[in-house]
Each structure stands twice: as C-alpha cells, then as structure tokens.
Amino acid sequence: MVTSACNLLNETKSYGPFRLIDAASRLIDILSENQGSSPELEKIKVKIEGGKYKVMEDGPQFSSFLNELVLYITSLIEDQN
C-alpha cells in the first residue's frame, strides 16, 4: 500500500480508488489463507472482483459499483448488530 501511494502521485485520478479496492480484495485473500475470513467477506470479495475493472471501462459505473459495495457492507454490519 505504501508503494501504491508513491505510484499514485503520477497516476490518473481513478487509479487510486482501483488500488484501494484491489487492496481490500487482497486483504480478504490473506485473511482467508489464515482462517480469518468469513462467508460475508468472501461475498464482498466476489463483488469486488466482479466490479473493480469497471474503472477501466466506465467511470460512472465504477462509481456506482463502489457506492453499492459500501451500502452492501453497511447492511452486513447492521445485520450483525
């Protein structure tokens, strides 16, 4: 993530959100490899992998994907309370 921060200084504006969402997916992989994942996290990963490349195809769709993902994660948190 530190390297990504350095690289983002000279990248296009949309590259930052892509790097962050990709890092979230990779973090879920690490948790899964160490028995720290959950079915909910795996669903989040599937959603991330299904939408993260929209950044290269359609900026507004990528933005919608990120907003929908936030709402989905929020609903998971609310369901646990």
Tens place of pLDDT per residue across the chain (81 aa): 777 777 777 788 888 899 899 999 999 999 999 998 899 999 999 999 999 999 999 989 999 999 999 999 999 989 887
What pLDDT shows up at residue 71?
95
Could you tell me if 62 and 54 are in contact, meaning their C-beta atoms sit under 8 angstroms apart? yes
The whole-number pLDDT of residue 6 equals 78
